[in-house]
């Protein structure tokens, strides 16, 4: 009575080997593509959640604005005095005044 059978060191003909390699490559490519799409979906979902939070919380949106402004002006010597008015106009004024000093 035979309980098990096994194969070892199978050598495939050249054409079969090429086809098998192409199949394996296609499967790996499909898996990589699936992972990439999942990551893109997660990133889009995160952006949507962030946008919703910012829309619902004006103070949080303002803090994010200030954080971005700090990154934009990093490395420059600037004094910030925030008051009422349009943030973009304030930034233009700050950036414009620092560029005229440098010139």
SS (H, E, C) 30-73: HHHHHHHHHHHHHHHHHHHHHHHHHHHCHHHHHHHHHHHHHHHC
Q: Which residues contact 51 (CB under 8 A, 6 or more apart)?
A: none
| pLDDT(71) > 70 | yes
CA–CA separation, 24 and 32 (whole Å): 12
Mean pLDDT value of segment 32-61:
94
pLDDT at residue 23, as a whole number: 95
pTM of the complete model? 0.48
91: its two tokens: 């930034």
Top mean pLDDT of 2-6, 32-36, 51-55, 73-77 is at 32-36
């Amino acid at each position: 009575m035979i309980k098990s059978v096994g194969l070892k060191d199978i050598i495939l003909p050249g054409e079969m080997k090429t086809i098998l390699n192409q199949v394996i490559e296609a499967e790996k490519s499909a898996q990589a593509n699936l992972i990439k799409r999942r990551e893109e979906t997660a990133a889009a979902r995160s952006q949507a959640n962030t946008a919703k939070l910012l829309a619902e919380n004006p103070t949080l949106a303002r803090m994010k604005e200030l954080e971005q402004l700090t990154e934009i002006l990093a490395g420059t010597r600037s004094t910030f005095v925030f008051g009422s008015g349009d943030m973009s106009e304030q930034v233009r004024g700050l950036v414009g005044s620092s560029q005229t000093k440098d010139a």
